[in-house]
Amino acid sequence: MTSSNKNIIEVNNLVTHYGDRQILNGIDFSVEKGEIRVIMGGSGSGKSTLLNHMLALLTPTSGSIVIDNVDVVNANRKTLLKLRQKMGVAFQGGALFSSMTVGENIKLPLQHHTKLDEHTIDIMTRLKLELMNLAGFEDLMPSELSGGMLKRAGLARAVIMDPKLLFFDEPSAGLDPVTAVELDELILKLRDAMNMTIIVVTHELESAFKIADRITVLFDGEIAITGTVDEIKNSKDVRIQNMINRRARDEHLDADEYIKRLTTGKN
Amino acid sequence: MLTVFMTKAKAKIEHLGDSGVDIVESSGRLGVFLFNTLSRLWMYRFPLEETIKQLLFIGARTVPLILISGLFTGMVIALQFYDTLIRFGSVDLLGAAVAMSLIRELGPVMAALMVIARVGSATCAEIGIMRNEQQFDALDCMAIDSYHYVMLPRLLAAIVSVPLLTAMFDTFGIGGGYIVGVLIHGVSDGAFLVGMADTIVWNDVWMGIVKSFLFGLVIMSVCLSKGFYLHIEQKQSGAVGVSQATTQAVVLSAVLMLFVDYIVSSLML
Ligand SMILES: Nc1ncnc2c1ncn2[C@@H]1O[C@H](COP(=O)(O)OP(=O)(O)OP(=O)(O)O)[C@@H](O)[C@H]1O
Ligand SMILES: [Mg+2]
């Protein structure tokens, strides 16, 4: 299999449900090594759902997910643990442990998975904090950080083990423009310096166009298009043009139907 | 009219099964949770550092509450027993009566209730918030086992500290009984102490230990699992979900604790 050597992520025909509701309708998705892939799409289109399945936090209804040659759907606990040590995940809200300081949070993976001595761990932690512009904040509690700082701290924790593969949910949502740009630079730096493969879920067009090698756009649980920035910009698909030009969904609405929907709550 | 009643009754009856299914499901989850947590004892190294941290939180910081409530409980039951025993002219039995009821029954139950109030609710809320903020997902993704790292230390700390807290409760309770009986009502202190020493046998103490050990296990596993399964069990998410889970955890652990109390008493008496 040559393709599995080139692709670090291979998702085939992924179908997922929450209860009875089908969310993803047969998704094929693959990411090459060293690529920065951005996943975009409207709210509720299933981006986080796709991400959570790739992280093996949820079990799909059908389909296969292969990451770094490991079938994560059927993998046993041990294999999964091994794989996860090579992956870093930065969650949307940071997901730092509220009972520990920022520094303790960031060094947690090192303490668990390596036999390094405390001193080395401290140095590595400080290095990553420097990288994220968080030097000097290591003794604060997560509750004492701002939203943007939490995100960067979460990112520091995600990359502390120098993973091959980094997942990043909504890096720039709710950040001021300057910090958002800094974070984009950081993502590019991580890829160039450490040759990471990076999957980013985002709403921010500007940031997506800046960092992405390729962009995948999801609509209602289906992939509308996967392509380079230029391919996305030149796409003829109306939904994608709407997204790029920030036009509202132009739903054709009949006046009577609208009144009926408002009064009865039904279509 | 009748048909309305029939439909309503039918709807009620149809839903009788639902709560039954809920109960079976959630006890199943509790069992799986307990098994998963305890199985980490032989799957990983012993989480010593974390357990000590939790012992401090669950055990040490609950001590003042235990001492005060133990003292007052001892005083009030001494008062009640004194009032009863004096009618039969047998106040010499006061020490034995106070100690017996504390060691066998009131000590374990009251200490457990204090632990539920002080620690169980806080733990459930903390775990529930961790679930809400994706902290367990983060642990999974960091390849750190939540059961081993978060659950086991808390469970072990509860199992160790509830019996110890119970012992303190008993001691201060007996002290409270001594104050009321001997110092206030003038029962002879020889009769109080010797009567107590003569009556209490090892089996009574053993019963108290078994009970408090099981109470620690029940309380902590209910409170932990209610928080841990927040996303599955609670209809609402966010702050409402956490508050509902906490209420359920407190109520369920108290009721289960009393149920276990009855079972153990009936087996050991
Ligand atoms: N835990 C859950 N239980 C039930 N349904 C869910 C759950 N999480 C998400 N959904 C549903 O799945 C669909 C996709 O959600 P998802 O979170 O993947 O969207 P998203 O693309 O990440 O959106 P956003 O950009 O707003 O984060 C939504 O319709 C949502 O209602
Ligand atoms: Mg999302």
The enclosing H or E element of A167 equals strand A165-169
Q: Do B137 and A55 touch (CB under 8 A)?
A: yes
Interface of A with B (CB under 8 A): 52, 55-57, 80-82, 84-85, 87-89, 91-93, 95-99, 108-109, 112-113, 157
Closest among A99, A95, A96, A162 to A125, alpha carbons compared: A162
Q: Do A55 and B129 touch (CB under 8 A)?
A: no
Q: Measure the CA–CA gap between A38 and A50, rounded to whole angstroms.
A: 12
| Ligand 1 proximity of A136 Cβ (cutoff 6 Å) | no
Q: Which residues of B touch A108 (CB under 8 A)?
A: 142, 144
pLDDT at A239: 84
| Ligand 1 proximity of A94 Cβ (cutoff 6 Å) | no
Q: What is the torsional sign of CA B20, B24, B29, B31? A: positive
pLDDT at A253: 64
pLDDT digits (tens, 9 = 90+) for A215-239: 999 988 899 889 999 998 888 888 8
Q: Measure the CA–CA gap between A267 and A244, rounded to whole angstroms.
A: 29
**Polymer length of chain A:** 267
| Atom 2 of ligand 1, nearest CA residue | A18
Q: Measure the CA–CA gap between B139 and B146, rounded to whole angstroms.
A: 6
As to burial, measured by CB atoms within 10 angstroms (0-12 exposed, 13-18 middle, 19+ buried), residue A250 is exposed
Q: Do A57 and B137 touch (CB under 8 A)?
A: yes
- Here the tokens at position A92 are 């949307």
- Here the tokens at position B220 are 């902590």
Backbone φ and ψ of A174, nearest 5°? 75, 15
What is the number of the ligand 1 atom nearest to the C-alpha of A47? Answer: 21
**Are the beta carbons of B191 and B90 closer than 8 angstroms?**
no
**Are the beta carbons of A102 and A153 closer than 8 angstroms?**
yes
Q: What is the torsional sign of CA A244, A245, A247, A252? A: negative
Q: Which residues of A touch B36 (CB under 8 A)?
A: none
Asked if ipTM goes beyond 0.90, one says no
As averages over each run of 10 residues, the pLDDT of chain B (269 residues) reads 75 77 87 94 91 91 95 96 92 93 96 96 95 92 93 96 96 96 93 92 94 97 96 87 95 96 93
Q: Measure the CA–CA gap between A264 and A266, rounded to whole angstroms.
A: 5
Whether this prediction's pTM lies above 0.90 is answered by no
Q: Measure the CA–CA gap between B94 and A260, rounded to whole angstroms.
A: 78
- Please list the ranges in chain A whose pLDDT falls under 50: 1-4
According to DSSP, the β-strands at A62-67 and A7-18 are antiparallel
As to burial, measured by CB atoms within 10 angstroms (0-12 exposed, 13-18 middle, 19+ buried), residue B75 is buried
Helix (H, G, I), strand (E, B) or coil at A124: helix
Using alpha carbons only, give the angle A203, A195, A184 rounded to the nearest 5 degrees. 30
**Are the beta carbons of A90 and A155 closer than 8 angstroms?**
yes
A71 alpha-carbon distance from chain centroid: 20
CA within 13 Å, CB half, B95? 20
Q: Which amino acid is at B61?
A: R
| Ligand 1 proximity of A76 Cβ (cutoff 6 Å) | no
Q: Measure the CA–CA gap between B30 and A112, rounded to whole angstroms.
A: 27
Closest among A149, A144, A161 to A107, alpha carbons compared: A161
β partners of residue A226: A216
Using alpha carbons only, give the angle A103, B242, B41 rounded to the nearest 5 degrees. 60
CATH number listed for the domain at residues A2-86+165-264: 3.40.50.300
What is the number of the ligand 1 atom nearest to the C-alpha of A218? Answer: 21
Tally C-beta pairs within 8 A across A and B: 54
**Are the beta carbons of A132 and A152 closer than 8 angstroms?**
yes
**Are the beta carbons of A103 and A156 closer than 8 angstroms?**
no
Closest among B91, B246, B220 to B152, alpha carbons compared: B220
pLDDT digits (tens, 9 = 90+) for B105-115: 999 999 999 99
The enclosing H or E element of A137 equals none
CA–centroid distance, residue B76 to ligand 2 (Å): 57
| Atom 17 of ligand 1, nearest CA residue | A48
Closest among B192, B201, B202, B204 to B93, alpha carbons compared: B192
Closest among B186, B149, B42, B136 to A113, alpha carbons compared: B149
pLDDT at A1: 44
Q: Measure the CA–CA gap between A37 and A11, rounded to whole angstroms.
A: 14
pLDDT digits (tens, 9 = 90+) for A33-58: 999 999 998 888 899 899 999 999 99
- Measured between CA atoms, how close is B129 to chain A, in angstroms? 9
Closest among B152, B119, B121 to B42, alpha carbons compared: B152
Q: Do B143 and A95 touch (CB under 8 A)?
A: no
- Here the tokens at position B251 are 């109520």
Q: What share of residues in chain B are helix, strand, coil (percent, to 5)? A: 90, 0, 10
Q: For a substitution probing ligand 1, which of A14, A15, A23, A219 has the most ligand atoms within 8 Å of its CB?
A: A23
As to burial, measured by CB atoms within 10 angstroms (0-12 exposed, 13-18 middle, 19+ buried), residue B23 is exposed
In chain A, ranges of CATH 3.40.50.300 domains: 2-86+165-264
Residue with tokens 């009574």: B204
According to DSSP, the β-strands at A7-18 and A165-169 are unpaired
pLDDT at A249: 63
Q: Measure the CA–CA gap between B153 and B53, rounded to whole angstroms.
A: 8
Closest among B130, B146, B134 to A92, alpha carbons compared: B134
For residue A192, CA distances in Å to A86, A126, A159, A197 come to 17, 21, 14, 10
- Measured between CA atoms, how close is A148 to chain B, in angstroms? 16
